[in-house]
Amino acid sequence: MFETKVNQMKKISILFILLSVILLNACYTEEGKDYEGKVMGYKPIYSSYETIRKVSLTDARPIRQSGKIYVKDGYLYVVEPNAGIHVINNFDQKNPKAERFINIPGNIDMAIKGHIIYADNGLDLVAIDISDPKSIKILKRIEGVLPYPKYPPYENVKFECPDSTKGYVVSWEFVELENPKCYR
């Protein structure tokens, strides 16, 4: 009878100690944010600055993700973030036809004047002549006028801080990370 009480006391004490440790630990992570161990988060996928600059014209392909949109003269342009621009013949809005895809790594936004597309291509701004449906021409590249990607396009997430010496961040993968230092 007495022993069981002692045992019970022991158990409660252990539980109390365990709870304290957990709570203290929680406090520590809250304030210190020094070490969080393995957590799920976003890891940057890099591409070399040379690869990023390869802009090309390809056949139309399905849209995997829609980003910014732009309309001009019966055409609809849909940016697939970090991939390029889908060119869609939209003269008949009841029957839009995908015509071409302009492969522009690191592309997020665009605008058009006349037959020239201005688009971000990683850190650079490029002016692309699209007057010929069968080929494109890079008329000008202004290097380093756009910022380096500092975070993934998601909110309330942990991620591995990008390192510009490793290349340009073309996408992010959701994986287990060892103590990520960045949060957004």
Partner 1 sequence: MKKLILLWIACSAVACKGDFSFKGESNTPTAGTGGSLARFTITNDYLYIVNSNNLKSFNISNPTDPIPSGEVKINAFAETIFPFKNHLLVGTRTGMYIFGLSTPSKPNQVSVYQHFASCDPVVAAGDYAYVTLRKGTPCTRGQNQLDVLNIAQLASPQFLVSYPMLNPHGLGVTAKYLFLCEGASGFKIFDRTNPADLKMIDFKYDIKSFDVIPLEESLIITGEDGIYQYGFDQKGNFELYSKIPVSK
Applying CB under 8 A, which residues contact partner 1?
62-74, 76-78, 88-91, 93-96, 98, 108-116, 118, 120, 125, 127, 129, 131, 139-140, 142, 145-147, 155-156, 184
> At closest approach, how far in Å is the CB of 38 from partner 1?
22
When the beta carbons of 32 and 62 are compared against partner 1, the nearer one is: 62
> At closest approach, how far in Å is the CB of 19 from partner 1?
30
Name the 3-class secondary structure at 143: coil
Measured CA to CA in angstroms, residue 114 lies from 83, 97, 148, 172 at distances of 23, 21, 29, 35
> At closest approach, how far in Å is the CB of 145 from partner 1?
6
When the beta carbons of 112 and 170 are compared against partner 1, the nearer one is: 112
When the beta carbons of 7 and 68 are compared against partner 1, the nearer one is: 68
Neighbours of 94 (CB within 10 A): 5
Structure tokens at 177: 């990370």
Going by the DSSP 8-state scheme, the letter that residue 91 receives in this structure is S
When the beta carbons of 21 and 69 are compared against partner 1, the nearer one is: 69
> At closest approach, how far in Å is the CB of 36 from partner 1?
17
Q: How far apart are CA 110 and CA 96, in angstroms?
A: 20
Name the 3-class secondary structure at 110: strand
Residue from 98, 65, 60 nearest 79 by CA? 65
When the beta carbons of 8 and 65 are compared against partner 1, the nearer one is: 65
> At closest approach, how far in Å is the CB of 173 from partner 1?
13
Measured CA to CA in angstroms, residue 148 lies from 84, 122, 161 at distances of 17, 8, 12
Q: How far apart are CA 70 and CA 87, in angstroms?
A: 10
